[in-house]
Amino acid sequence: MASRYHDIYARWKADPEGFWAEAASALDWTKKWDKVFDAGQGVYGRWFVGGETNTCANAVDRHVAAGRGGQAAIIYDSPITGKKKTYTYAELKAEVETFAAVIADQGVAKGDRVIIYMPMVPEAAFAMLACARIGAIHSVVFGGFAARELATRIDDAKPKLIVSASCGLEPGRVVAYKPLLDEAIATASHKVEKCIVVQRDEQRCDLDAGRDVDYAEAMAATKAAGRKADPVPVAATDPLYILYTSGTTGQPKGVVRDNGGHMVALHWTMHAMYGVEPGEVFWAASDVGWVVGHSYIVYAPLLAGCTTILYEGKPVGTPDAGAFWRVIEEHKVVVLFTAPTAFRAIKQRDPEGELVGHYDLSKFRTLFLAGERADPDTIKWAEARLRVPVIDHWWQTETGWAIAGNPAGLGLLKVKYGSPAVAMPGYDIQVLDDAGHAVAPGTLGNVVVKLPLPPGSLPTLWNADSRFRSAYLDEFPGYYKTADAGLMDEDGYLFIMARTDDIINVAGHRLSTGGMEEVVAEHRDVAECAVIGIHDDMKGQIPCGFIVLKHGVARPTAEIEKEVVKLVRDRIGPVAAFKTVVTVNRLPKTRSGKILRGTMQKIADKEKWNMPATIDDPAILDEIGAMLKSRGIGV
C-alpha cells in the first residue's frame, strides 16, 4: 500500500486547525470548543479553547455506552506474582467510578493534585482514571525513585492525597513502599493529610491511623453503599496530569498535560501511527510511571477502545527471555511498544531468538521502539526473528506522543536504519545551528519544533511558565527546543544523535547527570565531582561518577566510593543504576574552570577525541584515562 503520509502531512500543514478539529470530532465533548487554537492564550497558545470534556468518560464510559462493555479493557499480567486478571470496560467503569467516589470522600475535588506512587498493578490505572473522572490532577511517580525524589514532587505538586501500595516487586526483591512513602511525607514541607494504600498479599504494611486508608476496605464500603462518582466536565485546557521529568538540575520539571488536546492527539495516533483498530490488543511494555505508560498503557489504548496490557514483569528473567512472546501469544497482541534496551536484554540471553519459535505470534503485526535511539543491530535482530516491521519513533515526556515516526496506520514509508523517520502531522521539525539559522540537509544541529506545539504536547510546566520559557522557548525564538541534536536528510528523515544537555538515557529511563552530581557532592569527603554517561551494551548508557577527595581524607577510596554509590541509590533511587565511581586526583577543566565532561566521556567510550584547545592541564586527561583503564573502562 502506498503511504498516505505525505498527503496527510500536507493536509495538516495547510490547515492545522481543520485537521485537529476533525480529529477531535471522533470524541465526546460536553461543550464544543469556541476556538480550535487560540494563539493569545497560555505561553504559546492553547488548543480547543472553550471546549469542555472528560478524559475518563471518553476512555471508559463512551465505550460501555457504545456496546463495548463486555470487551476486555485491561489485562493485568504479572509473571512476577503469577497473577492475571482481565477487566472488561464495564468492570473498569465500576472500579473507576467507585474509586472516584472514594477519593472524593477524602476531600479531593476538581483541580486538586493526587500523587500516585505505585507498582504496575491495575489499581494504578484505576487511580489515574478516577482522578481524571472528577477533574483532579494526577502525578504518577515511578516506583524506582527514592523517598527524596518523591518528596521533591510532593513539594512541587502539593497533593491533597497520595495513592500508594504496600510494595512493589522486582525480581528477587520486594520493594517496601511504605517506608519510602513515610520518609517522603516526613521530609516534604507540604503536609499530606491522606494516603490510600493498596495492601498487596506479597507484603502487607502497617497503616497509620488517621492518615492511611485501606484501598480494598474503602472500595468495599463504597460499593456496598452503591456510591459512585460521575464524570465531571472540565475545560479542554484544564490539566489532566503532571508528570515530572529530569531537568538539568536536581529539581525535576513538572510537565503539564491538558485534557482536550491530549485525548485528541492520542486517539489520532492509535490508528494513524500504530495502525490499531478498536477491539484489538495493544501492549506497551513500560511502566505507568513513565510517559510511555501514561500515553500507551493507559490513555491512548483506552481512548481508542482497544485492550491494553498492564505487565508486571521484565523482558528477561520473568521467567526467561521468551516472556514477551508468551504475552503476545496468550493475549493476541497486535502491536508491542517497548524500549530498545528490552530487546538488547532479550538478545543477550537468547542471541539466536530461539524462544520466539516456541510461541504463536500470528496475530502480531508491528513492533514499535522508543525511549532511546534504536540501534540498527537491535532493529535488524528483531526484524529477522519476529518477521514484522520494526518501527523506531522519537518523542519526549514533554510531547506525550511521537514527534517523528514511521506511521504504520497511514502506510509504512521506507525504513532507514538509525532514523526514527519523518515528522508527524502537528510537528514542523527544523534543525538549526547555535545561532538559530537553518542548517543544510545532512548537517548536525539543534532539533527544534516550530511553535505552536500540537495538541497533547505540554502547554507549560506546573506553576512555572517562566521556567518553561527559559528551558524550552527562549534559546530559539519561535521554536520549541527539544534538547536533542540531530540531522535531517534530503528526504525529511530525521536522525537523533545526542542530547545537548546533561540528560542521559539509562535503559530507556531519562536521568540527569547534574542531579546525580548534586547528590555526590553532598558526601562529606567529596571536594569535587563529575558524572557522565558512558556506553553500556544493554542499557545504552550508564552513569559513571568521578570524585576528587577533600584534602587530608585518608580513608580507603574503595570505602568512600561504595558510600557514594549508596548515597545516589538512597537519594535518587535504584533506577539511576549508579554503580561506578572512580576516585581521581583532579578533574580536567578548561582555563575558565568548566569540567570537560564531553572529553571524559569520549575517553571512557573509546571514541576519537581531540585535546580541547582551552584545557588547563592536558596531563589530567592521561590520568583520567589511566584510572578508567584500571577499572576496565575505555580499554
Instruction: Provide the binding-site residues for ligand AMP, judged by CB under 6 A.
Output: 245, 291, 370-374, 392-397, 420, 482, 484, 496, 499, 505, 510
User: Residue 294 has what DSSP assignment?
Assistant: I
Q: Reading across the β-sheet that carries 366-369, which strands appear in turn?
A: 83-88, 72-78, 307-311, 281-284, 333-338, 366-369, 390-392
341, interface contact from ligand AMP, ligand COA, none, CB < 5-8 Å by kind: ligand COA
Binding-site string for ligand COA from residue 124 to residue 143, where x marks contact by CB under 6 A and - marks none: -------------------x
Instruction: Identify which of 320, 319, 292, 322 has the alpha carbon closest to the alpha carbon of residue 310.
Output: 292
* All residues at 6 or more sequence positions from 87 whose CB lies less than 8 Å from its CB, including other chains: 72, 73, 74, 75, 76, 95, 122
Nearer to ligand AMP, 374 or 620 (CB): 374
With CB under 6 A as the contact rule, the residue among 49, 219, 292, 620 that binds ligand COA is 292
Q: What are phi and psi of 140, to 5 degrees?
A: -85, 130
With CB under 6 A as the contact rule, the residue among 20, 89, 241, 290 that binds ligand COA is 290
At its nearest, how many Å lie between ligand COA and the CB of residue 575? 5
- 170 lines the binding site for ligand COA (CB under 6 A): yes
Residues 331-370 binding ligand COA (CB under 6 A) are 338-339, 341-342, 345
Nearer to ligand AMP, 5 or 480 (CB): 480
575, interface contact from ligand COA, ligand AMP, none, CB < 5-8 Å by kind: ligand COA
**Cα separation values, 187 from 153, 180, 181, Å:** 11, 11, 10
At its nearest, how many Å lie between ligand COA and the CB of residue 586? 30
Residue the block writes with cell 498516505: 4
Nearer to ligand AMP, 114 or 255 (CB): 255
Q: Give the number of residues in contact with ligand COA, rule: CB under 6 A.
A: 24
Virtual CA dihedral for 555, 560, 563, 567, nearest 10 degrees?
A: 120
Nearer to ligand COA, 339 or 421 (CB): 339
Residue 216 has, within 13 A of its CA and on its CB side, a CA count of 8
Q: What are phi and psi of 43, to 5 degrees?
A: -75, -45
408, interface contact from ligand AMP, ligand COA, none, CB < 5-8 Å by kind: none
**Whole-number Å distance between alpha carbons of 118 and 421:** 34
Q: Are 400 and 391 in contact (CB under 8 A)?
A: no
Q: Which residue stretch of 30-38, 58-66, 167-175, 354-362 sits at the interface with ligand COA (rule: CB under 6 A)?
A: 167-175
Quote the distance between the C-alpha of residue 380 and its chain's center: 25
Q: Are 57 and 66 in contact (CB under 8 A)?
A: no
- 286 lines the binding site for ligand COA (CB under 6 A): yes
User: Residue 396 has what DSSP assignment?
Assistant: -
At its nearest, how many Å lie between ligand COA and the CB of residue 535? 15
Give me the amino acid identity at 487: L
User: Residue 45 has what DSSP assignment?
Assistant: -
323, interface contact from ligand COA, ligand AMP, none, CB < 5-8 Å by kind: none
- 574 lines the binding site for ligand COA (CB under 6 A): yes
- Residue 319 preceded by cis peptide, ω within 30: yes
68, interface contact from ligand COA, ligand AMP, none, CB < 5-8 Å by kind: none
* Cβ neighbours of 492 (radius 10 Å): 15
574, interface contact from ligand AMP, ligand COA, none, CB < 5-8 Å by kind: ligand COA
Residues 479-538 binding ligand COA (CB under 6 A) are 507-509
User: Residue 71 has what DSSP assignment?
Assistant: S
Q: Which residues bind ligand COA (CB under 6 A)?
A: 143-144, 168, 170, 175, 286-287, 290, 292, 314-316, 338-339, 341-342, 345, 371, 507-509, 574-575, 577
